[in-house]
Structure 1
């Protein structure tokens, strides 16, 4: 009789443990589903509309750059050192057009860093690259950093 009670208690505990584990797994799956379905900032309609217009409308582009713009000028001479305090000035700005991969010569990737969108364009070897950083400010999306295409 005593052995039978132990057996019943064991079966009940086994069933209870199974129920607890399956509920816990469902909660973990639900949390994982919600976290993977979050849209990256650079995929939002708002950012994509801004980005397309930034590359096609020069007046809009100039209005959405924070000058003097922090960044880095390409190093032309191997003896040059990058200026850590360099800033692009409005009067020297060269308008940027839409992305052109030059028949597959360049690749582009976006990284969402807590609402800061970092765009990187680079050649297959990674020798030549360019970086732009966009941030949403009170006035809307703006270019806040630009590293010119060059060897880094």
Structure 2
């Protein structure tokens, strides 16, 4: 994606807040077909707009007494991981700056 002339890159913190609070905005910032999948232990299911569960909880608001979290932030990349220790549940989301706007480009959710 090309940058819009004269427009600075979108601020990730502003994007991330809106992504989690505005469902229409969230859907507009997901690139379907989305890389990654849902793995429920029986089958691997591709993400579609129809089966996408809206993300409402920011990684920084996760209950860390239940979940372990890890965040990797770079200039054009943000990755969040979430898992429950001692179980097979894990979740990973990756956002990338494409042109001058942030998008969710990868999602994995597994509970084998």
The two structures have a TM-score, normalised by structure 1, of 0.56
For residue 67 of structure 2, the aligned residue among 81, 87, 106 is 106
Taking the aligned partners of 1:103 and 1:109, their CA distance within structure 2 comes to: 11
Q: Hey, what does 2:81 align to over in structure 1? A: 120
The structural deviation recorded for 1:126 is: 6.3
SS at match of 1:66: strand
Deviates most, 90-99 or 50-59: 90-99
SS at match of 2:20: helix
8 A contact 2:41–2:110 mirrored in 1 = no
- Aligned-CA RMSD value: 2.5
Q: Corresponding residue for 2:5?
A: none
Higher helix share: 1
Instruction: Provide structure 2 residue ranges, at least 5 long, that are not aligned to the other structure.
Output: 1-9
Q: Any gaps of 5 or more consecutive residues in structure 1?
A: 1-44
Runs of 4+ in 1 over 6 A off after TM superposition: none
Larger strand fraction of residues: 2
Look at both structures and tell me which one has the larger radius of gyration over its CA atoms: 1
Number of aligned residue pairs: give it: 101
